Amino acid sequence: MDKRLEKALEFSNFLETQNNQKRIFLKQYKDNLIHYAFGHKFTASTQLINLLSVLLETDQEQIIILDDNEIPVVIDNPKEFMKDIVGVYIFASRKYAKDYADIKENRSVEGLINL
Amino acid sequence: MTKGVVLFAFNNSDIDYIKQAIYCAKRVKEHLKVPVQLITDAVDYVETKYPFYKKYIDEITYTPTPKGSIKKFYDGIYANKRLEWKNTARTNAYDLSIFEKTIVIDTDLLISNDKLLTCFSMLDDFMIAKDYNLINQSKSHADLDRISDSTIPMYWATILYFTKSDTAKKVFNLVEHIKENYNYYRLVYSITEKKFRNDFAFSIAVHMMRGFVEDSPWPTTLPSDMWVSTDKDILIDAKGSKIKMLAHQDYDYTAVKLTGATTHVMNKFSLNSFIDKEFTNE
């Protein structure tokens, strides 16, 4: 095979693998943002974190929020719940950032798969 | 026992589902740390061929060989075989499970995290997998989203959760009824494939029980990820929570690495070869 073609195909293969890994990491990040509590599903989104901070400022002992299925849930300890949700967000985003940085550093298919 | 995982395994002439079940149980013990019940028609085979099975399987239950059908099994892009597929026993999971709270999984599901444990603390009596991710993110499989183009969303019997409850009993009774009248339901739901599939039967049951609508909060989303490969993809290695595969393109493969991702390995041949290596030191 022509060397120029071989090199181009090698790069194409690398890029394809890298893009697939990036998409996998993004999907895993979104999965890792999901938190189950009180039998309900919540996504630790920036929207939920913002809502919780605003509600915490009102000093209510009990708050009501909607879960991912839009079912109202009574939260008896909003501070603890906020801590859990922020914890989930921090873990998911740190893991995503690390995974992303790792694939950026590797410039070969073997490197990407042996991470 | 109050909670655990149930596996079904019925060998055919080429694929050792029992071997897969023991490996699957090994991963269940590693990541979920709950008891495992194996339901099979070949109890003697388990005991003689895999004497170490007790490390991973807590209970074996005999059930007669279920009715099978012929299915084409791929081994990567270029090879395939037509083999018997004995998949109709899953509808008995409710009656055969020894657990109060049961997770049923396919033997070719490589558990790689503890997310499924959340099931046991939820209030739901029945949950089934719906959301999935493909290991090859550049492909899309519309056929995995709905049971047929014009009908209902697909649910995956690959992962089921149920409690011994009226609701779960109703689901399993309905699935049994659908299985007995499968040709009728197949036509009603425009399913072209003639073989009975648990995924389809459970999807129809869910659709009927939620009032024949798509938009319903029941059943609750199952708290687990599920990464799906096809039988044209190839499993290369699985160590702990790291899985390496080759995902097929049209006439080629792309290398894929998954970490902490529960993965459905549809290529039974590559899974069996990999397990052979894994069991060398057992």
> B244-276: per-residue pLDDT in tens?
999 998 788 999 999 999 999 999 999 999 999
Contact B168, B209 (CB under 8 A): no
Residue B195: predicted pLDDT: 92
pLDDT in tens, A8-54: 888 888 898 999 999 999 999 999 999 999 889 999 999 999 999 99
Average pLDDT over residues B61-77: 92
Over residues B189-203, mean pLDDT: 94
Dihedral sign from CA coordinates of B270, B271, B276, B277 = positive
Residue with tokens 């495992």, as numbered in its chain: B36
pLDDT band at A107 (very low <50, low <70, confident <90, very high): confident
Q: Which pLDDT value is given to residue B142? A: 80
Look at the block and give the residue holding tokens 């939920």. A48
Q: Residue B17: helix, strand or coil by DSSP? A: helix
**Helix (H) or strand (E) segment spanning residue B96:** helix B93-96
Do the Cβ atoms of B257 and A19 come within 8 Å?
A: no
pLDDT at residue B7 in the model: 98
Q: Which residues of A touch B124 (CB under 8 A)?
A: 39
Structure tokens at A4: 């120029």
A20–B260 CB contact, under 8 Å: no
For B258, which of A24, A34, A70 is closest by C-beta distance? Answer: A24
> Is A19 within 8 Å of B247 when comparing Cβ atoms?
no
**CA-based nearest distance B66→chain A, Å:** 36
Q: Structure tokens of A54?
A: 């605003």
Q: Encoding tokens for residue B13?
A: 């002439």
Taking residues B59-86, what's their average pLDDT?
Answer: 92
Q: What are the φ/ψ torsions at residue B56 (nearest 5 degrees)?
A: -120, -25
Per the CB < 8 Å rule, is A34 touching B220? no
Question: B247 vs B137, B138, B226, CA distance in Å?
Answer: 9, 10, 16
This complex has an ipTM of: 0.83
B256 contact A CB<8A: yes
How far is it, in rounded angstroms, from Cα B221 to Cα A35? 12
Cα separation, B14 vs B218, whole angstroms: 39
Contact B255 A109 (CB under 8 A): yes
- Determine the pLDDT at residue B10: 97
Element (H, E) at A14: helix A3-32
Pick the closest to residue B148 from B202, B197, B190 (CA basis): B190
| Residue closest to B138 by CA, chosen among A3, A19, A104 | A19
Please report which confidence band the pLDDT of residue A69 belongs to, taking 50, 70 and 90 as the band edges: confident
Contact B136 A20 (CB under 8 A): yes
Rounded to the nearest integer, the mean pLDDT of chain B is: 94
- B144 pLDDT band (50/70/90 cuts)? confident
Residue B217, chain A, CB below 8 Å: the answer is yes
Section B49-67 average pLDDT: 96
Judge whether residue A114 has pLDDT over 70. Answer: yes
Sheet containing B133-134, strands listed edge to edge, beginning at the edge strand earlier in sequence: B109-110, B263-264, B227-228, B133-134
Identify residues of A whose CB sits under 8 angstroms from chain B CBs. 13, 16-17, 19-21, 23-24, 27-28, 31, 34, 36, 39, 41, 68-71, 99, 109, 112-113, 115
B1 pLDDT more than 80: no
Contact A113 B123 (CB under 8 A): no
Q: Half-sphere exposure (CA, 13 Å, Cβ side) for A87?
A: 8
Taking only the tens place, the pLDDT of each residue in B150-175 is: 889 999 999 999 999 999 999 999 99
The pLDDT of residue A1 is 77
Structure confidence at residue A115 (pLDDT)? 62
Whether B215 and chain A come into contact, CB under 8 Å, resolves to no
Give yes or no for a contact between B1 and B254, defined as CB atoms under 8 angstroms apart: no
Q: Which two tokens stand for residue A22?
A: 């990036």
Asked if pLDDT for residue B59 goes beyond 80, the answer is yes
Nearest by CB to B254, from A20, A34, A68: name it.
A20
